[in-house]
Amino acid sequence: MRAVMPSNAVHVQHYVGGENAAQVSCYSKAWRCLFPQYGRGRKHRRRIVLADWQREIAEIHTGLLLRGLIHSDGCRTINKSMGKEYVRYFFDQHSDDVREIFCWACDLLGIGWRQPKWKTISIARRESVAVLDDLVGPKS
């Protein structure tokens, strides 16, 4: 945020009590230019569409996009089925548009996905999980 808005104050609030998290904030009217998807209300009730320039960046940095989406609305789990354990990823999102962006990014990288529930995307194939393991890394 400091690199993009060098003249604006950036605030970092670290959480205590066992949480490994921080809230970072920087106020500017210019954020709406950088994030045209921003708007009032819940994101699953308004359109979230990548602008052409955002799509170009996402195509170049698809792994980073998926990493951010998994870290914000996804998880990596160990499934147990018929006496075997295997890793899978889930991405849960109420917004149809955000799920569509996630699936589009997976398709770009050849990551196989399924949609077991209306708001859930599942990645369970060994090859696809390995790609995500390399891209995503552990949630911190």
Instruction: For residues 76 and 18, give the distance between their C-alpha atoms in angstroms, rounded to a whole number.
Output: 21
107-129 pLDDT, tens digit per residue, is: 999 999 999 999 999 999 999 99
What pLDDT is recorded for position 25?
87
Q: How far apart are the first and last CA of the chain?
A: 20
The residue among 82, 119, 118, 124 whose CA lies nearest residue 106 is 124
Residue 33 DSSP class: H
User: Are the CB atoms for 78 and 86 separated by under 8 Å?
Assistant: yes
Structural domains for the chain? 1-34 (no CATH), 40-136 (3.10.28.10)
What pLDDT is recorded for position 18?
60
6-18 pLDDT, tens digit per residue, is: 899 999 888 766 6
Q: Is the dihedral of CA 96, 98, 103, 107 positive or negative?
A: positive
Dig out the tokens for 11 from the structure. Answer: 């605030």
Residues of the chain falling short of pLDDT 70:
16-19, 35-45, 138-140
What pLDDT is recorded for position 48?
81
Among all chains, which residue has been given the structure tokens 């398709």? Answer: 107
pTM of the model: 0.75
What pLDDT is recorded for position 127?
96
Q: Is 2 left (phi over 0), alpha (psi -120 to 50) or beta?
A: alpha
Residue 45 DSSP class: G
Q: Is 81 left (phi over 0), alpha (psi -120 to 50) or beta?
A: beta
